[in-house]
Amino acid sequence: MSLWDTVSDELALWGDGLPPARLWLRDDDAEAPTSNLEKLGRLTGQFNVPITIAVVPQPASVALAEWIFKHKQFSIALHGYSHHNYAPVSEKKCELGLHRGAQVVLDELAIGRGKLGNMFGDRFIDMLVPPWNRIDQHLLSFLAELGFKSLSTFTWKDFTTIPGLVQLNCHVDIIDWRGSRGGRAIDDLIGELAEALQTARESGGAPIGILTHHLVHDAAAWDFLEQLFQFTSNRGDIVWCHAASLTGGSDL
């Protein structure tokens, strides 16, 4: 029996009235082309998997933009501004908090959005991905005014009903942040994916976000991604979606 049979068994429960299970892929912390980003580009290109890459705007390089335009499967989200932690040591890491005052944070987001829009053109989909998946609730009501159309964190809980701002979250993180800081055990990830599919089915077919961090991928992380892409390839019951199409836009 294959480990992936647990996912197949769950997909078999998706009956009439539901769309195919929908996955989307988000990768965080891009600043410049690297060998790992090259590998991610080859792998997603091989399996025709669209991917949204969260770029840190302050250090983002022109070389990254040049590289992105050579890879049609990539769209761009904004990953904070500098990915700097401003929270005290007694709190969890956070860039988009109120530690410096709301206006300072909003001004930086506006600058970052302008930079990525100029660098990436229509590849930039006006999505905000807060570093460490944390943002103060007070800031949410200003995001649409800044031009953001969507927000992506890591949770099943919708925590914003701001008009004009769609929430598209991730649910399965392939990195073991509390342990090896490389890829998690593949059987754990497959089990978590099956559970996420069940949750999505019970909520009417919500999209499921897979979260990667190419800079820290090891052999285990790459192995899981390749197996996942192989499993989902050419199936009618599960599809990879562009983030833009899931937030009211169109595929790139």
Q: What is the pLDDT of residue 163?
A: 82
User: 142: exposed, middle or buried (C-beta count within 10 Å: 0-12, 13-18, 19+)?
Assistant: middle
Find the helix or strand (DSSP H, E) in which 108 lies: helix 102-120
Domain ranges in the chain are 5-246
pLDDT tens digit sequence for 130-175: 999 999 999 999 999 999 999 999 998 776 577 889 999 999 999 9
Query: Does the pLDDT at position 59 exceed 70?
Result: yes
- Give the largest Cα separation in the chain, rounded: 56
Q: Binning pLDDT at 50, 70 and 90, where does residue 1 land?
A: low
CB atoms within 10 A of CB 64: 22
- Residue 147 region by backbone torsions, left for phi larger than 0, else alpha for psi between -120 and 50, else beta: left
Q: Which pair of tokens denotes residue 12? A: 């078999």
**pLDDT tens digits for 220-240?**
999 999 999 999 998 999 999
| Per-residue pLDDT at 251 exceeds 70 | no
Fold of 5-246: TIM Barrel (3.20.20)
pLDDT of 8 reads 96
pLDDT for the residue numbered 109: 98
Res 162: pLDDT = 79
Distance CA 189, CA 174 (A): 7
Query: What's the whole-number mean pLDDT along residues 114-124?
Result: 98
What's the angle, vertex CA 151, arms to CA 147 and CA 157, rounded to 5?
A: 150
Query: What's the predicted TM-score (pTM) here?
Result: 0.95
pLDDT at residue 250 above 60?
no
Q: What percent of the chain has pLDDT over 90?
A: 89
Q: Give CA–CA dist 241/15, Å, rounded.
A: 20
State percent of the chain over pLDDT 70.
Answer: 97
Length of the chain (residues): 252
Under the banding of pLDDT at 50, 70 and 90, the label for residue 248 is confident
Residue 3: band (very low, low, confident or very high) from pLDDT cuts 50, 70, 90: confident
